Amino acid sequence: MLQPKDIRAKSSPNKVALLIVVAVVIAALATSGWLVYQHRATSSGTTPPTATRYLNINEWGIRLPLSHGITDAYYVVSTSSQDPVTGTPNTMWLGLTSLDHKGCDASSANQGLDTQLGAIVRVLPTDADPIDGVPYTKLYPGGVTIGKYYYAYSSGTSKRPCASFATLQSIDTAFSVAIRDAVASAPK
């Protein structure tokens, strides 16, 4: 028969093995925790934001944020529409450099050609269309008032040959959002 002394002697190697396993697990957890801590300490874990590009419309003192799809946007001052009081233009033709060679060249709009992708109109918020009397804020509801003027986007993409229908819709949406998010330019 085994004596209590003998039982203790036989269980010692099991206890030692158990202690070794526990020590290894604790070391692994500690190492993992330290590695996670170091990673978080050296990295914020988020992607840094990209700088927003703007289309600055110097004649009006506003700028439009340019999202993906319209980063190469430009404008051409309309020579056919002016504010009767200030003489400044009321319309800016919009184009994308990447689509100029495909028949959507905004610079041709002042030559009587209907090739612009759209236009930005600038009116007083109380102004109405002279033909039907509808306020411009109702004709172009997605605009924004900055200072004393209302700015809105007027699409010109209908049946354009320069891109697919889906691409032109995407461009329209991007210009509409850009107008809605337009801000006053910082004073120089």
Q: Tokens at residue 14, please?
A: 């099991």
In the chain, the percentage of residues whose pLDDT exceeds 70 is 74
pTM higher than 0.75: no
CB 74 within 8 A of CB 58: no
Q: Closest Cα partner for 162 from 76, 101, 94, 97?
A: 101
Task: Give 112-171 pLDDT, tens digit per residue.
Answer: 888 899 999 999 999 999 999 999 999 999 999 999 999 999 999 887 888 999 999 999
Looking at residue 128, what DSSP letter applies? B
Give the number of residues written for the chain: 188
Chain Cα centroid distance, residue 25: 48
141 to each of 13, 108, 128, 145, how far by Cα in Å?
A: 82, 27, 13, 11
